Structure 1
Amino acid sequence: MRHYLLRDDQWECIEELLPGKASDRGVTALDNRKFVEAVLWIARTGAPWRDLPDFYGHWHRVYVRYSRWSHKGVWLTIMEELSKEADFEQLMIDGSIVRVHQHGAAKKKSKDAEAMGKSRGGLTTKIHAAVDALGNPVRLLLTLGQASEYDQAEALLDGFTPSQVLADKGYDSDAFVESIQSVGAEAVIPSRKNRLEPRPLDRHVYKDRNLVERFFQKLKQFRRIATRYERLAKNYQSMLSLVSAVIWLA
């Protein structure tokens, strides 16, 4: 079978991270690669599940399996395993908004729980990302679209011990700078205009922050990421995790 979305070397890196190995209990999966390719096709094209080419199998069975793996945390595990090779010389953080498609809108009472917020442009979700010194993702969080990026700053940093943390001036606060310094890292964050005593800024190092912006550009080349179609935050997070894994393997 010919594969279009994963090279052989990429597949070899994640093959042993998936359920259905010969060493696992239960039925051995012989079509894991075709299944992952199917989900990537959906992520890349942004097409409805019903439009999945017959080559990949019946769309509903593929979707049910994708959703089941989402609830088991399989997709997140793939990204977390790959990110163990992260270069923590630097950690860059930022946030980006995506619009929720009308077909992906959750019920009114559950929109907050599914990370869908109402703004001028309609329903939106905000992706908060932390990337390493090479621009590879190490953590992704979802909130309502109108949520402050600063509110997720410490959660993005939690458990990591980078040498430097780079962020834009929206993250400038004494509390966050202190939390960065508490893990032995240097805060490379521009001071707000209203700060009475601006902190010194290494502008040469700060230029590296563009890596997190470039990560979002790579992420949004996948149409199913650039526009949110998944009603469930867990399923959208899983799509983010899979695409992030592909970025790691590029």
Structure 2
Amino acid sequence: MELTKEHLERIKDSLPVERGNVSIDVLSFLNGVLYVAENGCKWRRLPERFGNWHTIYTRMNRWSKSGVWDRVFERLQKEGLVHLELKVVSLDSTSVKVHPDGTGAGEKNGPQAIGKSRGGRNTKIHLAAANDVHALGFRLSPGQNGDGPEGRELIGELGCPRHGCALAMDMAYEGNETRGLACLLGFKPVVPPNPLRRKPWKLNKALYRQRNHVERLFRRIKGFRRVFTRYDKLDVLFRSFVSFALSWLLLNSANRS
């Protein structure tokens, strides 16, 4: 994997201008971040060809705290939506194991969506997808949080969809509150009913099969070791790696068509 000048040209307007004596150019910096994201290595293990590891880490940390990676993702997302005929949105979550290096920060340092479940310490990524490369939005939560409440927060952030857009979800989202909010926003919920319901509804299986888009998107971003395992103590840095991975997919989506 490598970011090219063509990639940089598409996102440069969303990147801050580095002032002063800048020892590492933007493209080398971005490729250093890509190397860490893909391989999951420690910052100090960055190959020397990218430049000083501490300089790259410091800039990554600064850009994360100022929301640069979220802005890049949002820009590419809006560009992609222009060319999409959005008929089905798929919603789901995935659990990410937290490495011991990702624990131990004090609460005063910032939000840390890290919880405990039967599998140990983990973080959940809740994500809404238009297809297997195009995410519409995501949020983080501690691993023990339920999918229903977090899913409602996410679809609330998405806002009103285009007319007639279906929302494909698994049974974790089949509660009345989640389906009611989806309808209120203009979605057509496509979710299997709980077998214990007295009046189950008929499931549109053709639309429900498209829920695999979000599963395939999770598989793609978990190809980045820094997303597959959480090594970062604070949400602000882990979230940036998720945004970075999603942005990489959007940057390269044109090459897949």
Aligned equivalents of 1:233, 1:133: Cα separation in 2: 25
Question: Unaligned regions of 5+ residues in structure 1, if any?
Answer: none
Task: Give 1:198's aligned amino acid.
Answer: P
Partner of 1:13: 10
Contact 1:112 1:144 in 2 (8 A): no
Aligned equivalents of 1:11, 1:107: Cα separation in 2: 34
Contact 1:20 1:28 in 2 (8 A): no
Secondary structure of 2:217's counterpart equals helix
Task: Give 1:12's aligned amino acid.
Answer: E
Aligned with residue 114 of structure 1, among 112, 119, 122: 112
Partner of 1:77: 71
Contact 2:76 2:250 in 1 (8 A): yes
Residue 72 of structure 1, CA deviation: 0.4
Residue 169 of structure 1, CA deviation: 0.9
Contact 1:125 1:145 in 2 (8 A): yes
Aligned with residue 93 of structure 2, among 74, 95, 102: 95
Aligned equivalents of 1:203, 1:190: Cα separation in 2: 9
Q: 1:198 to 1:78 in 2, by over 3 A?
A: same
Partner of 2:202: 200
Partner of 1:141: 139
User: Number of matched residues?
Assistant: 243
CA RMSD of aligned residues (A): 2.1
Aligned equivalents of 1:124, 1:221: Cα separation in 2: 18
Residues 143-198 of structure 1: CA deviation (Å, up to 9, x unaligned): 11111111111221122415111100110011211211112221111111111111
Partner of 1:123: 121
Contact 1:93 1:156 in 2 (8 A): no
Aligned equivalents of 1:40, 1:9: Cα separation in 2: 16
Q: 1:190 to 1:44 in 2, by over 3 A?
A: same
Aligned with residue 218 of structure 2, among 216, 219, 231: 216
Q: How does 1:161-180 map to 2 (within 5 A)?
A: 161-162=161-162, 163-180=165-182
Residues 94-141 of structure 1: CA deviation (Å, up to 9, x unaligned): 000011101111347579940111223321111111111454112111
**TM-score (norm. length: structure 2):** 0.88
Residues 54-97 of structure 1: CA deviation (Å, up to 9, x unaligned): 11111111111101001100001111111113343221110000
Task: Give 1:48's aligned amino acid.
Answer: K
Q: 1:218 to 1:110 in 2, by over 3 A?
A: farther
Secondary structure of 1:106's counterpart equals coil
Task: Give 1:148's aligned amino acid.
Answer: G
Structure 1 residue runs of 4 or more that deviate by more than 3 Å after TM superposition: 26-30, 107-113
**TM-score (norm. length: structure 1):** 0.90
User: Equivalent pairs: percent with the same residue?
Assistant: 32
Task: Give 2:42's aligned amino acid.
Answer: P
Q: 1:18 to 1:113 in 2, by over 3 A?
A: closer
Contact 2:105 2:234 in 1 (8 A): no
Partner of 2:242: 240
Question: Unaligned regions of 5+ residues in structure 2, if any?
Answer: 253-257
Aligned equivalents of 1:244, 1:160: Cα separation in 2: 22
